[in-house]
Amino acid sequence: MKRYWLLFSQWVTVLVAIWFVVATLQPEWLRSAKRSADGMTLLQAPVGSDLNRPAGSLSAPARQASPAVVSINTSKSNSSRPQSQDPWFRFFQGEQDEQNPAGLGSGVIVSPEGHILTNNHVIEDADDIEVVLADGRKAVAKVIGTDPETDLALLKITLDKLPVIVLGQTQNLQVGDVVLAIGNPFGVGQTVTSGIVSALGRSQLGINTFENFIQTDAAINPGNSGGALIDVNGHLMGINTAIYSRSGGNMGIGFAIPISTAQQVMQDLLQNGKVIRGWIGVEPQELSAELAQTFQLPAAGQGLPSGVVITGVLKNGPAASAGIRPGDVIVKVAGQPVRNVAELLTQVASLKPGTPAELNIWRRQGEVNLRLTPAERPAVNKQRR
């Protein structure tokens, strides 16, 4: 028994000595052994794996959405310019290049058939449109239709195995949500910037006729127009369209057209080649205390509901035929309240031309219901931006 005890003591002494040496010279071995004993895996994640990404990394949504965001190059031929055919112009200016670059922009592939959403101002007046994919492939794009009043355009390319972005649900977007802007700013190549949703439903900015913008502080610069605004899941939430800037560069105030609006426009362009909207032929203006006094209307809070005052009515137009007069205040369109000019434009535009609709107006003696048949909104050739 004494012999076994002596042998045990010697082994304990040797093990303690080994532990002391390892703890002194290689303490990380002991930490690794402890993690193993606790059941932790010591396998290293592959390079580039999401397991190696730091907390808060947005690489996953960027990697998911980026392949579907394209660069758009447009050009305008000299032959389309009348002065280029003038011999005096050619004598003094010399022979011009056959093609002159007209601009750069971005777009988003939204269907496997090759449909691309972009801004109207990106491809407006272009004779040739070239689309460059993130994988380097190029294709000539055909214009399916444009809508200058929302500044949207729908293109189509013919290529195989196209990456398609996932469309998001704009109603789920909230102020403060993290978003990414993807595009080709200044033609430097595909670029991803991040920020948050600064505001929703921005309107009356004078950018488009119909405005319902998502405002973001994600950097948007010239060339980003038509690119994607995505959420943290990589889903498309908007089409980047404009910035507020005094210098021409990003100042932290950018605007995107919600995908809900873009989907409606895209559906009309696919079905009809244009967007069909209702129109009643009036000149609306925000209702103020001065206008209420001018048209002898009761002041706000004294019986006058919120609405939009009509300052002009087109002769022989739908509104004139229905009996609407200057000084009337439109308070409801098809049962929907009207609080400002932007809401009136949107609600009238949603009316189906040729189908009667009910309007609630306020006159001096009180509220009056009228039945009106909207016409189709006249086309706009160019959108002033």
Catalytic residue IDs: 121, 151, 225
Q: Report d(CA 364, CA 366) in Å as an integer.
A: 6
Question: Which DSSP string corresponds to 290-325?
Answer: HHHHHTTPPPBTTTBPS-EEEEEE-TTSHHHHHT--
Compute how many other C-beta atoms are within 10 angstroms of the C-beta atom of residue 287.
25
How far is the C-alpha of 156 from the C-alpha of 141, rounded, in Å? 5
| Amino acid letter for position 319 | A
CB atoms within 10 A of CB 311: 15
Q: Mapping DSSP to helix (H, G, I), strand (E, B) and coil, where does residue 349 land?
A: helix
User: Cα–Cα distance between 379 and 369 in angstroms, integer?
Assistant: 29
Bridge partner list, 179: 195
Q: CA-to-CA distance for 157 and 353, rounded, in angstroms?
A: 32
Q: What is the DSSP string of 269-285?
A: HHHHSS---EE--EEEE
Phi and psi for 312 in degrees, rounded to 5? -155, 145
- Note every long-range contact of 5-12, with CB atoms under 8 Å and residues 24 or more positions apart, other chains counting: none
Residue for token digits 């009056």? 368
Q: Tell me which amino acid residue 24 is.
A: T
* CA 9/CA 75 separation, integer angstroms: 89
3-state class (DSSP) for residue 202: strand
DSSP string over 61-129:
HHHHHGGGEEEEEEEEEGGGSGGGG-HHHHHHH-PPPSEEEEEEEEEEE-STT-EEEEEHHHHTT-SEE
